[in-house]
Amino acid sequence: MVDAVPGGAMRVLGPLPWGPRQGIGDWVLRLEFRRAVLWLPVGIGLGIWAYFAWPAEPPVMAILAPLPGLMLLALPIVRRFMLLRVLALVALALGLGFALALGAAVRAEGPRLGAPVTATLEGRVVAVDRAASGAPRVLLERATLFGYGPERTPARMRVALLEQQGEPVPPPGTWLMVRATFFPPSAPVEPGAFDFARHAYFEGIGATGFARNPALMLPAEEAAGARAEHAPGLFTRLRLGLSALRLNLADALRARMPGRAGAFAAAIIVGDRSAIEEVDAEALRISSLAHLLAISGLHMGLLTALVFSGTRAVLALVGPRWLPLNVKKLAAVFALCAAAGYLMLSGGTVATQRAFVMVAVALFAVLIDRPAISLRGLALAAIIVLAIHPVALFNPGFQMSFAATTALVAAYEALTARRRRREAGREEATGDEARATPLFALRLVQPLTSAAGAVLFTSIIAGTATAPFAGVHFNRVATWGLLANLGAVPVMGAWIAPAGIAAGLAAPFGLAQPFLDLMGLGIEWVLSVAHGVAALPGADHAVPAAGDGVLGAIALGGLWAAVWRGPWRVGGVAVAAMAAVLWQADPPPRPALLIAAEGRLVGLMGPEGRVLDRARGQGYAAETWLRRDGDRVSQEKAASRPGFSDGEGGARLGQMPGGWRVAVLKGRGATAERQATYCTEHTLLVAPRAAQKPPGRCRFIGFDSLQARSVAVHVLPHGTLSLVTAKATGCRRWQVGWRRCPSFGGTD
């Protein structure tokens, strides 16, 4: 039987397996089954999430997960019934996502350090940036770690050159020798926080460290690593050449545009954010303008839009008589080439790759006479990005970029459909109405009001779509972000980007300086807006860490509202809004006690907020804990709060809910006798250097519990303690020792 599906599609449907054609079958048809394809990237994303949420590393044979879905689709009975086809496609999408994630994890596998080591390292510099301290930091490949065999030496290692400040930074392609202290990639500083070990694994980084000795630059023929390889291939030479070009361009921009304008320009043109002052970076974060620094969808979209429209205007002047080609398609080819060049020039980060894929899909749609911007094109871009980088699913940039773009496309699609319905139902104007014309002043102002309304509407939609993701990942919501974006984004698109493109075109002729000066004025305006908005009262609203499933509920609710049409899309809005309200009204309780790996830092929830046992050191852990508490104080301020008191032998004593006392024993005063003194009933004893529990009735956290792992302590309602660890060792490929864990097939 052939049925007409709303939207003009024709589907061959057999009788539904649950019985009558009426009722549920008609309701499913009204859901516009044509748009169900937009859920394909969602199913792939859920499959990727399932792989990373799996409790232990699955066997490699699990890469065949898409096969059940394919086999179901091949069955004749499945092809007869729409419901079975939908279920088979869901199984196929989930299995495909799982297989993509597992395949990426297998490809990324390589040697990693299992313990800290101090040794001499030699390797080739492939990237240069700066650490949080301002020291230059280099990423080395083809590394040789003296004293370690090739099978134990990570392929890529990152080292901060602490004694290199003020000295020339080794450019990409340089062979470097340095003695440094290296550590395995660290585990999360608390359960649920950012997992640097997983991030480093998929980046191919097997160790990070620092060097307090000056680095020695070597000629390639004298490097031990160079003797083990042949001459670099074309791709390697191109990659190193582009990295060196990026650094040279960044230095040239900062020289021609002194101060913060040059640092900003280097960030948005070549992706070098090392010279951005922290005060400017913080103002951009508070005002919700930090996305202007990341080379992502906005920058790639502005570049391609300007190149596309400019090229099309120039080619239109030539006319079809002299240029017998489709001007629009030729402009799309020029814009695509410009986007590819920007991708290579900016360093090709994951965010830039994601933006390039989205732009390439839109421009390819122009070439084949399809709508350039649509939800189908966006779904295709998401599938391509997830296929290339499955772990990008957990990247805040990926989530916020696709959330904003999906919301904008869906919103403008709904407005367009509404306008078409209104125009279709409007009666023809009478003769008097047809002769009536608006006043000249109104006709002059109308384009301006339309443009202002479009900017306002776009900012509201994009800001609303990205706010939950910013709150979950960064624990902050920019209260005045809409105001800041209204003041800065139009300047970015109409002033800074055109001036930057003009400077690039004029540079070969030595005429770039006027355009760089013009660009600098626009950048100063953006930074002034950022600082002005950041200074407004309540500009930086802190939010506590969200519970499990909050972000997923918000994302799925938003997708439901964006993908489907009709009144049932309100259900998606309701789910997303309810999850956000419950998160703010009843946030999950924060741990009563947090302990960093090796016990280097301890944070107790006190009467005024979390109190830390030290005012300096372990700054990243301290900042993360306080941020996830929804607390914006400094580490020094948190260390001065009431909550800890001094005990004998340097012990730090505090009180937790449920009548529990905590005793932290570090340093030389943590003798066995002192530990036994504090090991009493209803006491949690934290002794990072103690290998064994002392005699007594206390709960004990010692060396074994804190080795390369952080611990969060919760006090349950009935008064018992729950200890949750975030560890670097475990049963996943990015964790040390995963091969010793049982998998589906036994010991892997």
Residue position matching structure tokens 């860490």: 545
At residue 300, the pLDDT reads 86
At residue 689, the pLDDT reads 87
* Closest residue by Cα to residue 159 from 124, 208, 122, 114: 208
DSSP 60: G
At residue 431, the pLDDT reads 46
Q: Supply the Cα-derived Rg of the chain in whole angstroms.
A: 29
Q: Rounded to an integer, what distance in angstroms lies between the CA atom of residue 394 and that of residue 442?
A: 48
At residue 350, the pLDDT reads 72
In 65-155, the DSSP E strands lie at 117-130, 136-145
Q: Is 307 helix (H, G, I), strand (E, B) or coil?
A: helix
Residue position matching structure tokens 């772990």: 391
Q: Rounded to an integer, what distance in angstroms lies between the CA atom of residue 363 and that of residue 380?
A: 13
pLDDT tens per residue across span 676-691: 888 988 999 999 888 8
Q: In what order do the strands lie in the sheet with 721-727?
A: 609-612, 602-606, 593-595, 709-715, 721-727
Q: How far is CA 601 from the centre of its chain?
A: 27
At residue 224, the pLDDT reads 60
Q: Rounded to an integer, what distance in angstroms lies between the CA atom of residue 499 and that of residue 492?
A: 10
561 contact partners, CB below 8 Å, separation of at least 6: 410, 569, 570, 571, 572, 573, 576
Q: Rounded to an integer, what distance in angstroms lies between the CA atom of residue 360 and that of residue 297?
A: 12
To the nearest 10 degrees (0 to 180), the angle between helices 440-474 and 396-425 is 150
* Closest residue by Cα to residue 579 from 536, 540, 610, 548: 548
Burial of residue 387 (number of CB atoms within 10 Å: 0-12, 13-18, 19+): middle
DSSP 588: P
Q: Partners of 679 in the beta sheet? A: none
Q: Rounded to an integer, what distance in angstroms lies between the CA atom of residue 742 and that of residue 748?
A: 6
Q: Rounded to an integer, what distance in angstroms lies between the CA atom of residue 257 and that of residue 251?
A: 10
Q: How far is CA 155 from the centre of its chain?
A: 24
* Closest residue by Cα to residue 403 from 297, 539, 546, 268: 297
The residue type found at 505 is L
At residue 230, the pLDDT reads 47
Sign (positive or negative) of CA dihedral 741, 743, 746, 748: negative
Give the residues of the chain that fall short of pLDDT 50.
Answer: 1-23, 25-26, 226-228, 230, 427-446, 448-449, 744-748
> What is the CB neighbour count within 10 angstroms for residue 484?
27
> What is the CB neighbour count within 10 angstroms for residue 426?
8
At residue 31, the pLDDT reads 54
**Do 205 and 139 form a contact (C-beta atoms < 8 A)?**
yes
